[in-house]
């Protein structure tokens, strides 16, 4: 009997248990880190500015939206750049990572067909690369805070840490599911672009939360706003960083963020999104395991 025949063969089942798949991802964590590095290197290969492009993205948004909403539409929000960046930071992580993750399986077809490893690592690597960009873009926010000499709310800002964790769990769930679906339905990646565009405007990032919340409250439909999981996440970042509940201008009071609520209110909404995200993650892993078996044929 040859040495090859004596070696134990591990078969990766297309329908293995979710707990086993999570264990496989953990065992291949070094590969995950390596793929994150690869994502970052490939994206900025032969680029003169390199990682500076990650910082230019929020700066471009900042310039355009400030001109549109402060100069032309005159929304009256004080220190609008801080308000915009505090919400945009979380949104960019969500949208950019999800777009990259959706095409991660189809974009690495040659690896998927030749090498055995937990395929979920590919969309998770896209999320990991997005997290690196998140911290780079956070530097732009820090510079803005220093430039405006803007004070944050320390107790609420601490809640941004679990908010980031919740966002990553939600991202992982959607990334794993959409990357598998996109193998069979390539229109998924194009449809996602349109969905994210609409989703952005349904999230209070460029307009005050209270602008929509007050009108929905009058109809007893405030719950509709929180069907969007990004609303709870963005509000935590805005409350901790922006920290302006209302503003009076010309005798008119502009309501901005939730008023008269404690940190528990934010934590409760965040916990609800977290619980749903965990359920979605396990559902995404089960879906992935069912679809993974025919990846090679479809690619």
The one-digit pLDDT tens for each residue of the chain (299 residues) are 444 444 344 344 444 677 788 888 889 899 999 999 988 887 777 666 666 777 777 788 888 888 888 777 777 788 899 999 999 999 999 999 999 999 999 988 888 888 888 899 999 999 999 999 999 889 889 988 998 899 999 999 999 999 999 999 999 999 999 999 999 999 999 999 999 999 999 999 999 999 899 899 989 899 999 999 999 999 999 999 999 888 776 666 778 999 889 999 999 999 999 999 999 999 999 999 999 888 878 77
pLDDT of the residue at 40: 83
| DSSP states of the chain | --HHHHS------TT--HHHHHHHHHHTHHHHHHHHHHHHHHHTTT-SSTTHHHHHHHHHHHHHHHIIIIIIS----TTHHHHHHHHHHHHHHHHHHHHHHHTTTGGGHHHHHH--S-TTHHHHHHHHHHHHHHHHHHHHHHHHHHHHTPPP-HHHHTTHHHHHHHHHHHHHHHHHHHHHHHHH-THHHHHHHHHHHHHHHTSTTSS-HHHHHHHHHHTT-GGGGGGSHHHHHHHHHHHHHT---EEEETTEEEE-S--S--HHHHHHHHHHHHHHHHHHHHHHHHHHHHHGGGHHHH-
pLDDT of the residue at 69: 81
pLDDT of the residue at 12: 41
pLDDT of the residue at 22: 85
């Amino acid at each position: 009997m040859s040495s090859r025949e004596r070696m134990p063969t591990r078969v990766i089942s297309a329908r293995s248990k979710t707990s086993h798949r999570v264990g496989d991802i953990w065992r291949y964590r070094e590969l995950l880190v390596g793929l994150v590095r690869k994502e970052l290197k490939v994206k900025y290969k032969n680029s003169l500015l390199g990682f500076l492009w990650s910082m230019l993205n929020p700066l471009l948004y900042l310039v355009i939206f400030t001109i549109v909403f402060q100069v032309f539409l005159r929304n009256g929000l004080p220190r609008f750049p801080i308000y915009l960046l505090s919400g945009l930071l979380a949104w960019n992580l969500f949208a950019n990572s999800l777009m990259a993750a959706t095409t991660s399986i189809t974009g690495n077809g040659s690896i998927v067909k030749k090498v055995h490893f937990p395929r979920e690592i590919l969309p998770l690597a896209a999320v990991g690369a997005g997290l690196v960009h998140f911290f780079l873009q956070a530097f732009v926010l820090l510079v803005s805070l220093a430039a405006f000499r803007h004070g944050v709310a320390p107790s609420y800002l601490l809640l941004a840490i679990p908010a980031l964790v919740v966002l990553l769990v939600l991202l992982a769930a959607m990334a794993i599911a959409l990357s598998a679906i996109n193998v069979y339905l390539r229109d998924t990646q194009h449809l996602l672009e349109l969905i994210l565009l609409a989703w952005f405007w349904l999230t209070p990032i460029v307009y005050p939360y209270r602008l929509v919340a007050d009108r929905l409250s009058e109809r007893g439909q405030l719950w509709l706003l929180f069907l969007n999981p990004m609303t709870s996440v963005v509000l935590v970042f805005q409350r901790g960083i922006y920290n302006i509940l209302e503003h009076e201008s010309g005798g008119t009071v502009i309501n901005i963020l939730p008023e008269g609520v404690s940190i528990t209110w934010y934590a409760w909404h965040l916990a609800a999104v977290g619980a749903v995200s965990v359920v979605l993650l396990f559902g995404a892993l089960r879906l992935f395991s069912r679809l993974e078996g025919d990846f090679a044929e479809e690619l």
